[in-house]
Structure formats: structure tokens, C-alpha cells
Structure 1
């Protein structure tokens, strides 16, 4: 087999031409802010688990379902809603989604029983379904391709920072004002941003190249770009590996406040504050690991996959050691370090997906990644861990969770073996489209 020389210039389509760097950062800030709101609304529930458990006499399985239903709806709806957003306008779609999840979070504050809370959380999931995928497509589109792992990682870190704020502020509000105000506070913040976003971010300004490219529109209507979502082994590996690794990180984020409450005897405010530090470490890890990937991958883009493998194995070692220790400072330090490394695969996997798929369907591509993240990780992890916790205790369940990272590492290793050939094939397909696009323009 002939060797394929893979340079940084070959590492995907550059869609940022014609967009000023200043406006790109404004778009990033607002899109990042909405992602923070997204996760504040999602994770505030975890801070009030002990209060809901006591007030409504709920089991861990029921609490896990309240958390997991959001991820399930995100997983089920992210693909079709992202496809709609790619075709009919990403900015309008993002604003509508933010309005829906914020109103649904307000519904959580008004819930009178478990059934009403479940319905409200269901609607939170519907509202959040495509935000992460469409939002990251917007961010990737306005920055140069060599910044993809850093920007994708930084954007996804917004989920961690939102989780920090949701858990920490939710815990404080619940302790002093009651759990209903915890939900209400998150809802009001989201509604404000949902109104502001479409007033500043304009579709015509974030995609000048795509709107001017009539050939790109013709390609979007065909099935060729959509085939890039699943046509290579390495992009499938990115989906599956990312989802399996998020089984670990997502489970710890959901259950760590309850773990601190049960085994450290912390109240909801203190447990929320400590849990927020752990989640903050995840957010910092996403950014630093993404920056490392971009730096080391400038001349060898496949190094990002090697780093993803290292992040998986490192997090498995650190978290397995942490949960084998008795409660105490050493355990908390190791959990923080393990979560920092565990979250590191977000940047590499997002960059892989952007590089291996057609730019015109990036929203749908990231929806596919989100689908895998939720169905394999964020939904499955908390649900399975809740059921195992009911049987053997949360401390014992946490000892088993890090082992999933070994499977994630194996999948990324498989993807690495096919990355060069898959990028070469995608480059050849794009080269083949150029004469066809020129013909379309000559007939226009």
C-alpha cells in the first residue's frame, strides 16, 4: 500500500474565509454562553437530587431516569433537528431551541410531582436536542481549520462550565431558597440569551462562503455530502470512541453530588460546590487537551487520535485508583485529575468529525457525534450506574465505571489505523467535485 503524506493543509475544509476574527470571537462568546445555559438547565437537577429523593421518596433509578431522559431525547432528536438546521438556518434554530429548554426548565420549577417533573425534563431534552451539534458547527465554520481541536474543545468545555454553574448555583439556591428557585434561576438566564442571540448573530455573516457558493448548495441537496457522515471507518470510530469515553465522564458528573452527600456527609450546598470544582477540572482538561492536539497535530494530524487513546487509558488509571481509596483528600484530588484527562477526548473526536465530513453537513455530522455521545455515554452511563447503585451501592458502582475507558481506547486505536486512507479518499472525492461544480457555475 502506498504511503499517504498527510499535511495540515489536507486536514479538512477551511470555511472561515471572509469572516473577521473579531466577529468570529463574538459569535463564539454568544454561542458559548448559550451552551453554558444549556448545561446549567440540564445539570441543576443533580444538585437537588437529595432534596427530591427525600421530598418525593424516589429511588436512585428514578433519579437516574430524570437525568437520563434529557440525554435520551438529545440522542434521538439531534440528527433530524440538526439536518433541519443545516438546511433552513442554524441561527434561527439555535434561538428556538434555547427558548424551548429555558421554558421547560421553568416548568421543572413548577412541577408538583415526579410525573410532572419527568415531562418537564423530557421537554428540556427536546429543546437541547440539537444545540450542541449545531452550535459547534457554527463555531467551527467561523475559525480556521488549524484551530478546530482547540475551538471544539473550548466550546464543549462550555458544557462543563455550565455544569459547574448549574450544580454550584443550583446547590446554593436550593439550600437557601428551595429547589424550585434553583430551576427558575437557570430558566431566566437562558431566556435572556435566547432573545439576544439572533439580534447579534446573523446567518449571512457566519457563512459568507457557503451562501455565495451555489455549487455548495447544489451539493447540499444531493446525497454525496451526507454519505461522508458514515462512509469511513475512522469517522465511525470517532463517534463510538467519544460516546464510550463520555460514559465515564458523564456518569461521574451526574452522580458525584450524591456521592459526596452519602460518603462525605455534605449538604447540598457544599456537595454542589465540591462537585463544581471536579466538573471545572473537566472543562479545563477539555481546553488544555484540545490545545495540545492542535499543537502536536500541525504536521501529523493523526497524533490527535494517539492522544485520545492516551487520555482514555490515563483516565481509567486515575479514576480506578481514586474510587478504590477511602473518602478523603487524596481521593478527591485523584478524581479531579482523572476527570481532567477523561474529558480530553472531546477536542480530538470533534476535530476528526469536522475533518472527515463535508462542511455543508457539519451540523448533521456533529449531531451524529452527539447521538453517539448521548446514547452510548450521557444517557446510558447515569441510568446503568443508578441501577447498579441500587444493587451494590454507589461507591461500588463508581469502581466499575472507569473500565469503559479501555473500550473507548480500543475503538480510537482502530480509527487511527484507517485515518490517513480515509482522509485521502475524502480529498479525492472533493477534487472530483470541482469540475462538476465549475460546470454548474457555467450553466447558472
Structure 2
């Protein structure tokens, strides 16, 4: 299909901006909860589109690095957001922190509407006509219900094709286990710091470690994979080795009562485990047909949050057991080395025949252009 991906990103960021403004005007728990849910809807618009666009337009020798730089936005954004929220919240009030975010995002939302479209691999060059503008559909009493059922059927076919890709499934399983560990870290990390090391500013120390480890690890892992040739087997090798040794350092960190030893070991561990960000997303994109890349990224993101985020009631048990589970993630990705894999980066597959949804010209084409 030829829907402009930047337009879809712009729509999502517009929803994000409005929802963030809504957070600033919230009056109780449920109002801010609903607005936060809408923020997630806005984010979803570019989760599945940004990564495929990046990997398809990056130089072949720097594909992983470009993806890695994109994913640095998570630790960097968390660190900057903590500082920004603290400064604005303490100075002007927490509502203004949300309003400021919305203002900062607005130019990017506008850019989504005005940027020149890029043709993504696997997308048809034919023009998609909304069902309610297509004369053929009206002649055949084509209804919105029929259109919806057709879309659900296509989604089911795409999901079946996606789940038949063994390399993709193994990669996502490893990613789920990986995120389970860091879900526990985010829930209990500060409590561990306060109880073991009795450090008042442990939140700043943890924030610094996460930021530095995330940036250095993500860039380092991406550069290494590009250097050794960014194939799927090499990505699995890097994933399994980095996570295995990262687990050793992270587990060892919690075995020492000295705060300085802990900080050094946990920083090294963070760098190693964060080296996975570029490779794991490269495998997600290159192990499936180009037409399935947006769906592959979306399902990967949904899976790691549904099955990966969790907590256990006892913090000591949580930290030690969860850190050990990193070895399971390393093992799953190690299996991926031996799977038969086809790197589909160079493919330019087309979507299934959609002639029943397409029409070369429409009398009110201006309306169509405004919607696409």
C-alpha cells in the first residue's frame, strides 16, 4: 500500500501531543490514567514504522548502528526526562512539565504531515482507496462491516506468516525473557540500593548507570555487529555472548556489599546487556518479509510488555532469580545461531493482491489525498 508512513507517524504524534496536554489538565487518577493510555496509542504509530524506515535507508555497513542510535532514545530520554521533570515540576508545578513536553513534540508531529513520502519495501505502488469513496464497493453494497472483516482476515494471514518464521519467534522469546529481568530491576532496583548500601542518592546513581550503560552498550554492540558483518547468525552470536557475560557481572554485583564494587560491576553488566538493542531489532526486521516488518516490530514490542514485565513480592528473591534468568535469554539466542536463516534485507516483496481494494483514479481524488 502507498499510505505515507510519515503521515501515519504524524497522526500518532498528534494523538501523543493531545494526550500529554490532557495529562496536564487531569483532575484525578482515572483522568491521568486514560490520558496516559492515549499516549501509548500515539507511541504505537511509529513503533512499527520507524525501525523499518531506518534499516531500509541506512548504509548496508551501518544498519545496526543506525538502529542502535534510534534505540538510544530510551535510556537518553529517561535520563533527560528525569532531570526535566524534576526542574520544571519543582519550579513551575507538575502540570507544566506535561505542557512543555507537548510543545516540544508539536514540531515533530507537524513534520510527519509535510515530509516527502518514502516508499517502504514490500508495499504496493498502487493507490489505496478508502472503502466509502470507491464506487465499485457502493454498487456491490459493500459495507463497513465487510471492510472490517476483510482487514481482520488479512491481519490473521499476516500473523500466521509471521509466527511461521522460526528465527523471528526465537528472537522475540529471548527478548521477552530479557525484558522480564529488567522489569524486575526497574521495580526493585532502588529498594535494593537503599536496603543494601544505605545510599540516599541511589536513584541518581542508578539513573546514571542506566544512561551510560545504555548509550555505551547500544552503540558498542551495534558497531561490533556492523564490523563483523551484520548477518542474522552473527547477531545471535553477539546476543548470546553479551547477555551471558552481562548476566555474570550483574549477578556478581549483588553479591558484594561494597557500593563501589557494586557500581563498577553493574555498570559493566549494563553495558554488556544493552549491547543487545541493535542486534535484536535487526534480527526482528531482517528475518521476515519486508511487508511484515512493521507488524513484526509491533508484535515484538507488545510481547515484551505483556509477557516480559512482571514483579515478585520478595525483592531479594526477585533480583537474584531474575538476574539468573538472563542466562536463559542467552541460551535462547544461542539456539538461534543454529537455525536456518534467510536474511531478507534485500527482498522487495509485495503485499498480496489487493486489486479488490484498489482503483487507479477516483473522481474526488483530492479528498482521497487528504486522507492518505
Q: Normalising by structure 1, what TM-score?
A: 0.63
> Which residue does the alignment assign to 2:296?
365
Q: Does 2:119 align with 1:207?
A: yes
- CA distance in structure 2 between the partners assigned to 1:158 and 1:173 by the alignment: 21
Q: Matched residue of 2:257: which SS? A: coil
- 1:147 match: 62
Match of 2:136 in 1: none
As a proportion of its length, which structure holds more helix? 1
Structure 2 residue matching 1:88: 3-state secondary structure: coil
Is the Cα–Cα contact under 8 Å of residues 121 and 291 in structure 2 kept in the other structure?
no
1:237 aligns with 2:170: yes
CA distance in 2, matches of 1:281, 1:371: 24
Paired position in structure 1 for 2:144: none
Structure 2 CA distance, aligned partners of 1:264 and 1:120? 36
Aligned-pair distance for 1:324?
2.9
**2-side partners of 1:265 and 1:318: how far apart?**
21
Q: Is the 8 A contact 1:357 1:365 kept in 2?
A: yes
In the TM superposition, residue 102 of structure 1 has moved relative to its aligned partner by: 2.7
1:347 matched to 2:278? The reply is yes
List per-residue Cα deviations over 1:327-379 (Å, max 9, x = no partner).
623222322222221122221121112221111232112112212222232xx
Structure 1 unaligned spans of 5+ = 1-85, 215-220, 438-443
Q: 1:293 to 1:208 in 2, by over 3 A?
A: closer
Instruction: Give the paired residue count.
Output: 326
| Counterparts of 2:268 and 2:90, CA distance in 1 | 28
Cα separation, partners in 2 of 1:277 and 1:211, compared to 1, 3 Å? same
- Report matched runs for 1:31-110 at 5 Å: 88-110=3-25
Question: Which of these residues, 167, 180, 203, is aligned with residue 271 of structure 1?
Answer: 203
- Residue deviations 1:181-212 (CA, integer Å, cap 9, x gap): 4333333322232223433x321xx2277678
Residue of 417, 423, 427 corresponding to 2:338 = 417
- Distance in structure 2 (CA, Å) of the matches to 1:107 and 1:325: 45
Larger Rg, first or second structure (1 or 2): 2
Distance of 1:265 and 1:176 partners within structure 2:
26
The one of 381, 394, 399 equivalent to 2:320 is 399
Residue pair 2:122, 2:289 contacting (<8 A) in 1 also: no
Cα 1:168/1:400, change in 2 over 3 Å: farther
